[in-house]
Structure 1
Amino acid sequence: MDVLTDVLAAAKIGGVLTSHLRADAPWGFRLDQVPFAAFHAVTRGECWLRRPDAEPLRLVAGDIVLLPMGGGHALASDPSGPLVSYDDILKASGASMPGAYVELAGAGPRTRLICGAYPYEDSVAHPVLAVLPPVLHLPADRSREHGALSATLEMLAAELDGGRPGARTVVDRLVDVLFVHIVREWLDSHAEQRASWLAALRDPPIATAISHLHGDPGRAWTVDELALTAGLSRAAFARRFTALVGEAPLAYLTRWRMGLAAQRLRTTGEPVAVIARSVGYASEFAFSRAFSRCHGMPPGRYRSTHRPATPE
């Protein structure tokens, strides 16, 4: 069971290219409180990432930054110059997202940027994104050391420049792949950090227990049974799981069940009672209460709110 893939799918973390920029200094734009994870990759030149209450971060060709929880930020040719709204830039250029190609004319050095977004269902994505720092900066030298990450970025840039048939599909897939490589690289370089859900996946006993939970979420698991799968005593397992994952085993199971239920409500027409049973609830009423506590609304309203509109 690939637990990370499982969570990315349930959280509906899917990347989309938002823009491909060619900017000649001086330039600067701000993105106001984006409600998704965002990434920016510099393929030529250099620029500055600017955030409220943080020192500007210089980025050079080959650098990648991921902002896991989004938030307001800016990119500019210098660390302190004026900024304009990116929405205004799009309107002025006549471009539209996703995938806008934007040129910012100036007399100074040229920078090229690839920018993208990763929308997600917050309650399910939490274990992946909440454990990452507000800004995950992968300098060019680290990207090159992580060969797959550097190769993915090169292929992404080549597809954007090539104009070949099917490029849109290839770009979208590569943006997804880029996210996984970024998370992998961060996990590999922070293996010493033990108190996070991602670090738990590197701990064989706890990773085994999590894999069992994901593989059979409808089972009436007990802490004793999970401890047995991990090869630990009940007390040792409960302490270790909570320390690594950040919540108790059965609390994690409940949140995972609610994430799976939300995914099925969004993507299938199955009756609520069927979905309830699939995630371990014999009573539709008990399931509805648990779902409402997690998602802030009952299953029926969640489905009507989140299902895509049916074409007439």
Structure 2
Amino acid sequence: MDPLGDLLDGVRARTAAFCRSVLDPPWALRIVDEAPLGLATPLRGHAWVIPDDGEPTFVGTGDVAVVQGPEPYTVASSVDVPPTVFVHPGNRLVTTDGTDITAATRLAAGTSALGLGTHGATVIASGAYQVSSFVSGRLLATLPAVVRVPREQVQSPIMDLLHAEMDRDEPGQQVVLDRLLDLALIATLRAWFARPAGDPPGWYRAHGDPCVGQALRIMHEEPHRQWTVAGLAAATGVSRAAFARRFTDLVGQPPMTYLTHWRLDLAAESLRTTDATIATIARRVGYANAFALTVAFKRVRGATPQQFRAGLAAA
């Protein structure tokens, strides 16, 4: 898998994450669902995404916005409209006076469509994502608080499929919508990184390089191998000096520094999701034994693997 694929692999739409909202202007929703990542696209009309700390972002019909949480933010028809409805986890709607209006606004039983407007109102498709991986955190760290990609730059039929699926009422629809939401996120971020005015992270730019891109792929596929700069250079068919210089220039880190951080991200993920011993995890990610992993883990993350796992358990 390529680096972008690895980093996106831990981002998944959760069950009932998808929602279609029908809204009469003026409207404003306060998003307090604590999701690490949100996606919204107006299917009709427009919206403003307004972070608490940052400039408002206009999102037109067909544009896609990706918003980083879990801090609250506002989505509104205009920047000067105060929120009247708070969106809680599970698309639960509560008014400013504390009244839960979720059931009253649901357009049909068993769906995630919410109606706060008429047939000619703004229609917004949105979704919340859980980021279930420390590896994926590296991707989010490269993004601004709000990513907006114009419709014409998302060169994918996914948004059309998403729109068409919402007009159906068939078994398994929620699963289909969640999967389409995953694909919409991938298409949006790929378009964001690839845009001419973009400033993607070094590892993304380097993916297209015949030498460094190949090195990144084999690091991601085989982190357990005892790689050296010379070994990576040989695997990509260039001299050691030329490889080290080109990798550092494109990625922004020396090869072994990048590999160390990748291995430790994988180790952190294994500590979170498995009961494997430190020694087993160490071998999986390229360290000779538990001691070697512990030394590297503490140097970079400030805690031993045991302390890190204990902290997760306590949380």
TM-score of the pair, normalised by structure 2: 0.80
Structure 2 letter corresponding to 1:93: I
2:7 paired residue number: 7
Alignment deviations for residues 135-194 of structure 1 (CA, whole Å, 9 cap, x no partner): 221222333xx1x2xx21222233333221111211121111112111222233238757
Q: After the TM superposition, which residues 131-150 of structure 1 pair with which residues of structure 2 at under 5 Å, given as runs?
A: 131-143=142-154, 146=155, 148=156
From 102, 116, 136, the counterpart of 1:104? 116
Q: Does 1:130 align with 2:141?
A: yes
Q: 1:122 and 1:268 mapped to 2: Cα distance? A: 12
Q: By how many angstroms is 1:111 displaced?
A: 1.0
2:61 paired residue number: 61
- Please state whether the residue corresponding to 1:128 is helix, strand or coil: helix
2:293 paired residue number: 287
1:29 paired residue number: 29
Q: 1:206 and 1:191 mapped to 2: Cα distance? A: 22
Q: 1:272 and 1:103 mapped to 2: Cα distance? A: 51
1:93 paired residue number: 101
Higher mean displacement: 130-139 or 42-51: 130-139
Q: Is the 8 A contact 1:195 1:244 kept in 2?
A: no
| Structure 1 pair 251–225 and aligned structure 2 pair: CA distance change class (3 A) | same
Q: Note the aligned Cα RMSD (angstroms).
A: 3.1
Q: After the TM superposition, which residues 216-295 of structure 1 pair with which residues of structure 2 at under 5 Å, given as runs?
A: 216-294=222-300
Q: Is the 8 A contact 1:123 1:294 kept in 2?
A: no
2:108 paired residue number: none
Q: By how many angstroms is 1:29 displaced?
A: 1.8
Higher helix share: 1
Taking only the aligned residue pairs, the percentage that are identical comes to 35
Q: Is the 8 A contact 1:66 1:136 kept in 2?
A: yes
Alignment deviations for residues 68-122 of structure 1 (CA, whole Å, 9 cap, x no partner): 56654311111211124333834622369xx8433224x8961111222333257
Structure 2 letter corresponding to 1:102: L
Q: 2:133 and 2:38 mapped to 1: Cα distance? A: 14
Q: 1:108 and 1:173 mapped to 2: Cα distance? A: 27
- Please state whether the residue corresponding to 1:158 is helix, strand or coil: helix
Q: 2:64 and 2:145 mapped to 1: Cα distance? A: 14
| Structure 1 pair 27–207 and aligned structure 2 pair: CA distance change class (3 A) | same
| Structure 1 pair 53–283 and aligned structure 2 pair: CA distance change class (3 A) | closer
Q: After the TM superposition, which residues 43-54 of structure 1 pair with which residues of structure 2 at under 5 Å, given as runs?
A: 43-52=43-52, 54=54
Higher mean displacement: 288-297 or 171-180: 288-297
From 211, 219, 236, the counterpart of 1:213? 219
Q: By how many angstroms is 1:207 displaced?
A: 0.7
Structure 1 letter corresponding to 2:184: L
- Please state whether the residue corresponding to 1:262 is helix, strand or coil: helix
- Please state whether the residue corresponding to 1:14 is helix, strand or coil: strand
Q: By how many angstroms is 1:222 displaced?
A: 1.2
| Structure 1 pair 20–122 and aligned structure 2 pair: CA distance change class (3 A) | same
| Structure 1 pair 302–161 and aligned structure 2 pair: CA distance change class (3 A) | farther
Q: 1:256 and 1:236 mapped to 2: Cα distance? A: 22
| Structure 1 pair 66–152 and aligned structure 2 pair: CA distance change class (3 A) | same
Q: Is the 8 A contact 2:8 2:186 kept in 1?
A: no
Q: By how many angstroms is 1:47 displaced?
A: 1.9
Q: By how many angstroms is 1:209 displaced?
A: 0.7
| Structure 1 pair 238–114 and aligned structure 2 pair: CA distance change class (3 A) | same
- Please state whether the residue corresponding to 1:204 is helix, strand or coil: coil
Q: 1:169 and 1:18 mapped to 2: Cα distance? A: 10
- Please state whether the residue corresponding to 2:124 is helix, strand or coil: strand
1:154 paired residue number: 160
Q: 1:15 and 1:295 mapped to 2: Cα distance? A: 28
Q: 1:35 and 1:242 mapped to 2: Cα distance? A: 34
2:38 paired residue number: 38
Q: 2:66 and 2:262 mapped to 1: Cα distance? A: 25
Q: Is the 8 A contact 2:35 2:128 kept in 1?
A: no
TM-score of the pair, normalised by structure 1: 0.81
Q: Is the 8 A contact 2:42 2:122 kept in 1?
A: yes
Structure 2 letter corresponding to 1:114: A
- Please state whether the residue corresponding to 2:186 is helix, strand or coil: helix
